[in-house]
Amino acid sequence: MRRILLVTAVAALALAALATAAVAIGAYLLRDLGPLPPRYSGPPLPRETVVSEMTSILAAEGITVEREPSAGIRTCHERLSGRHAPETADAAVEAAFARARSDHGWRDGPDLGERTLTLTKGNWTVMSSLMGEQASGQPAPVFMVLTCVDEGDAVTAPTAPSASAPALTPAPASS
């Protein structure tokens, strides 16, 4: 009987020590490390600036693109599309990305695979896929997708109610 009590006491002490260690480790892992770093550096770039810049970079490489309509007013997504000679489409897109890096301050973006090119600048990421070999005689499609982290040119919501908006007041408490 004493032996069972002794084993139970040792097991209880071991479990208490294990629980204390788990709480200490959990507290260490959940400690406050301060605010998160910014998702991008510098001021946010307006969408019109980015679209204009990427359109001119592509034009410098002989690729004419058109801006497709945005899906919504406050979305942070743009798409440029066009066509180019199939023999040189991929080379022209690669040259445009190199020009964006060297002449306009864009940086390599996240690696999304060998057939996808990405760039980042401020709050924007630009992505284009290389199309590979296309049927000759038909222009090759060229697509560029531009997305942003935070809308740099978004209209901000008013901070104070306007004169025409009804004031919101709490309902009286019922007894």
Whole-angstrom distance, CA of residue 89 vs CA of residue 142:
7
96-146: per-residue pLDDT in tens? 999 999 999 999 988 888 889 999 998 999 999 988 776 667 888 899 999
Tokens of 2: 């004493």
Q: Give Cα 162 to chain centroid, integer Å.
A: 33
Do the bridges between strand 77-84 and strand 64-67 make them parallel or antiparallel, or are there none, so unpaired? antiparallel
DSSP, res 54: H
For the whole model, what pTM was predicted? 0.63
Residue 159's pLDDT band (boundaries 50, 70, 90)? very low
